[in-house]
Structure 1
Amino acid sequence: MAATVTDPVIGTVVDGRYEVLSRIARGGMATVYLAQDRRLDRRVALKLMHPHLADGNDVVARFRREARAAARLSHPGVVAVFDQGTEGESSYLTMEYVDGVTLRRRLLSQGALALGEALDVLEAVLDALGAAHRAGLVHRDVKPENVLIAHDGTIKVADFGLARAVTEATMSSTGALLGTVAYLSPEIVTSGAADARADVYAAGVMLYEMLTGRQPFEGETPIQVAYMHVHGTVPPPSDAVAWLPLEVDEYVALLTARDPEDRPRSADAALAALRAMRADFDDRVLALRADVEPDEVAEIAGEATADVEREGGATATLAPRVGSTVVLPIGAVEAETEQEAGTARRRTRRRRRVAALLAVLLVLMTLGGGVWWYLAVGPGAYTSMPDVVGRAEATALATLSEAGLDPTTREVHSDDVPVGHVVTTDPEPGARVERGGAVEVVISQGVLRLRVPDVAGQSPDAAQDLLTDTGLDGDTLLDQVWDQEVPEGQVVRSEPSAGSLVDHDTTITLMVSQGREPIAVPDVSGRPLEEAEELILDAGAEPQVGDEAYSDDVPQGHVVSQDVTGDALRGDPITLVISKGPELFEVPNLFGMQYSEAAAILEDIGFVPERENVLGGVFGTVHSQSVEAGSWHPRGTVVVLTVV
């Protein structure tokens, strides 16, 4: 790309590790490069903060702190932060490199998104922002340039940390804030303060833009747009796209309410309302798209350059003014100017004069007509409480406001009412309520889900108390199991297992130990050792080889005896005595002995002597023996003695 050829950073190695390959984008706070991580051999997006931002303030310290916080944020919809450090006068971040396009590029190429696609994008963005809000992080710069759409359809949010670090440091040193004015919430413009609800506001503006192809507020200068955010109301998207459902108008109004107290408290709450609203739309409606030509959007965007750059470390896009960062003095637009305050005071005086006149009229109109006017259409009029039970929060609040009531919300868990829908109201539907009076709307958080505590080793009663204390109020069942380690009468485990996330009324089964399981050990005497061990293992015991013993009856390598037979407990050791076979004895030399003497010697050893006479054996002398002298044989061996 011609615009990046002369960039002196390209070709350098940052911090001795990151080889800069090309420039991806340059914004108001940093320049993003495609780099190769030489240590881990992977491509990363390298974001170098502009050196001038560190002049005279603590932006570097804030930048590092925010980078560490962002690095701890692990969510599939958030661009991961890998590393941070310094290079020369600049601080840098290395982040996940996502190959795709930004939402800004998608809008420039398509004009507007179909309702279903816009809600898909917003759902992914709110899901990612919700993870950040739960971790105490606020993005502060939610805009299409920071929403990345990978080629596989994955949607990720980029730039956590840098926007907040630079903005806070700039505010503390200059009294000004950095931001993209088209998406700044009113409270950021007037005071510089921002919490999770500021991100919700920007998400609502972004939804308006995705559906209509243009931003809700447009002006010649950033200060004019900022003024509209503070003093205006985001128009209903259906003013520009007539077929959009009323629920979408109500949802955009909910997210972009001027008073932060009227917005969802976090992205999670906004996400729940989005899902509840979307459930009411069929596929036909979700497929509709505003008829906005891409060229028209490009003209509105006011492209600053014809160079195609890659934005946010992820995507090929043009760099339009609509997403650029501006410097805006804090308080440049006040919540209410002095002239407006004077107008408000004059209106108050007029209302007081009218009220006084009405009071006189009421005194004069004591007859039935005057009373009827006061009760039916005057200041004391009452109305009937609309039935909004079961309806989506945004729709219910709009209905109550249109009825002239002042609704407030409270959230509870409900087993029956979907998330983001009305459980009940106070007063109840149909009740007589003063016009303009305050009413409470109870919104469902869905079924209460809790984690199963670890009850192993507890008694059943103690385990039941722990389940109850946790809030699990479903049935508790007991089941008995044998266990080698857990003593009898104690809980072995629960089903569902400890740590499982379950509905609060889920039935929990406690598996209670009966102790070790009784088994019957078979008699393996006379069996080969390997076979004996297998039989004992099958029975549930642990075979152990003990002493070896001579046996005239049991072959070598077979079991002579065992220490336990019959009743035992699973896992008990069973000691086996293994046969060495019969004991062998040396055959003596009996030549020349008298038969009686030789026979006695053989019998003492355990051999069996037999006599065989030659020539009548008249001398009684052993002439020879059938078993060779010096050989070894077991008891009972027959030795034939030849006697002469």
Structure 2
Amino acid sequence: MEAPGRVAGSPGDPMIGRVLEGRYRLLSRIARGGMATVYEALDLRLDRTVAVKVMHPGLGDDDEFAARFVREARAAARLSHPHVVAVHDQGDDDGTVFLVMELVQGHTLHEVIAKEAPMAPARALELLEPVLSALASAHRAGLVHRDVKPANVLIADDGRVKVADFGLAKAVSADTQHTATQGVLIGTVSYLAPELVVEGRADTRADVYAVGVLLYELLTGVKPHEGETVIQVAYKHVHQDVPPPSQRVPHLPPYVDALVARATARDRTLRPADAAVMLHQVHRVGSALADGVADDPELTEDLAPRLRAGHDDEVDAPAQRGGRGDTAPQVWDEGEMATLLAPMAPPPAAPGGPTGPPPAHPPRQTRAEATTLLRAHHDDRAATPPHGGAGTARAARGRRRRGPLLLALALAVALAAGGGAYWFGWARYTSTPGVILLPQAQAERTLEQAGLEVAYDDPAFSETVPAGQVLATEPSPGDRVLSEGTVTLTVSQGPERYEVPAVARMTEDQAQDALLERKLSFDESIERFSENVPEGQVIRTIPEIRTVLRPGGSVDLVVSKGRQPLRVGDWVGESLEEMRSTLEDRGLVVEVAGEEFSDTVAEGDVISHDPAGGTLFRGETVEAVVSQGPELLPVPSVVGFGVEAARQTLQEAGFEVEIERDDDFISIGFVLRMDPGAGAEAPRGSTVTIVVV
């Protein structure tokens, strides 16, 4: 699991410092997702650093889930592959369900896409090959990932590519719905295969689909299906093909488009059977790219998804059977229906009345009445005897007299029913006026003038409809609505944007939480020294606060390393002025603690300083002792002294003595003169020369 070099310690997270099962001490939080939080931890038993993924509270409360999680973790642990993040252990510490994994120092493919995409096809395939290799190993072991996405592809500092979170999605998904409208979507919706959205079940081909989407994103720098809500994106996966990447990046070889189309076919039977098959196809495309092939029709044809035999018939069959897959036999004879229903056709709309096309099908009541007439018609035919005769003739005349009466009565009933059906099925309805893109107040006036009530749904964000204008209506424009009925408006809030929050002086974890609350993404931490922000707290953000970003916009945190230590250095024997100038430029203060005589350090130079070295923080003081040079002493007069008396006197005064004899030395043994002379000042320890006669 990835460890992006976080500062240890997260005061806002109660899990920090906790030891799970007496073995794994949680040191710092690495990342947090929809299902779990990942921590850097220390394995106390083996004395190694690991990544521990802790399920969010609630997921581990169900005993059945916990058992399933254990089974899937064991299955993932059996995967031994150089491109799979190793699973070391799993456990349940008093309801805290966790997974222990290899710690990968590096970054994610998400960061690579942000920095490099759109990238050259060869580079994209280079990144995908180890991912497919890992998935192929899992597929051979009967394990489906279900959550292939850039954040689960880790790239170590040494360049190794590893796929994380095998088996986790399957363990969680068994109790959740894989739909866009209820439950939990296990897996990032941008990479979900259509069958996961619709059915909630997946096989190896769902992983292939996710890799195909990932390839599209590497090639173009954007996701193939985007929308303002999760539901919109999921809908597009089910109903829209992934477009060819060459639409965004011209001059891509057609066989690259074909590779993406094959992997992302909405019909899973048209995709590669598993990651191993797709890996083979990637190798073929990679070889063509390496050879500089601009177009290879044969390779393109081999890769392009082809419909199965009879597939077109299957697709078209519902329409041929009457639409919507209805396989019931046709009950009505169309000619007979037309004859019977002709008198019931609704009259033309009166001026100012409702407008719009007639209903697509006869009202239910009219069809029921037609059934009655049809049965009466058949019953009347069945009642006629097969042979004639007087009785038969009388009966026939009676029937002829009753016939018109019954027909008139039937027609009256039919007209009444038809009129009622027309009223209930058509006349009491009107068309919903088109008010989309109108300002809210104008839309209200338009609907009220049409005799309709106005209600409001929750406002919604839109990249295309300005704030305050109508984004959608229910019913939609042109749809039928009861006269004096209600039209529900959704008003646009404009583009969904969020300001970068003020997170200065927060801890890094608190700042990340604040970004998540604003639907913004934390990208990376940048450490800087600060004189006024304590270590571990945020100094500022990049971009700066109040910058407006789209949802998911990346924000860097500049985090304090504390005060910057400033080097003092060694200044003994150096000029006080030079020391003062240099250290004050660094931000330190230099003060003279005293002055002393020195026989070895020149006047004005530094004899000593405190501290003698090391570092201080800005504004702190270095105290220096400055030399006054050697001490000067008065030279006592020894002229006329005997030699020994003169020597003793000068030595006691702090001088060395040197004896010279006068040229007219007569061996009397008295001092004739001295140098320096009596009363002069000389440095302590200097030599006084006496001349003896």
TM-score by length of 2: 0.41
TM-score, with structure 1 as normaliser:
0.45
The structure showing larger relative contact order (alpha-carbon pairs under 8 Å, at least 6 residues apart) is: 1
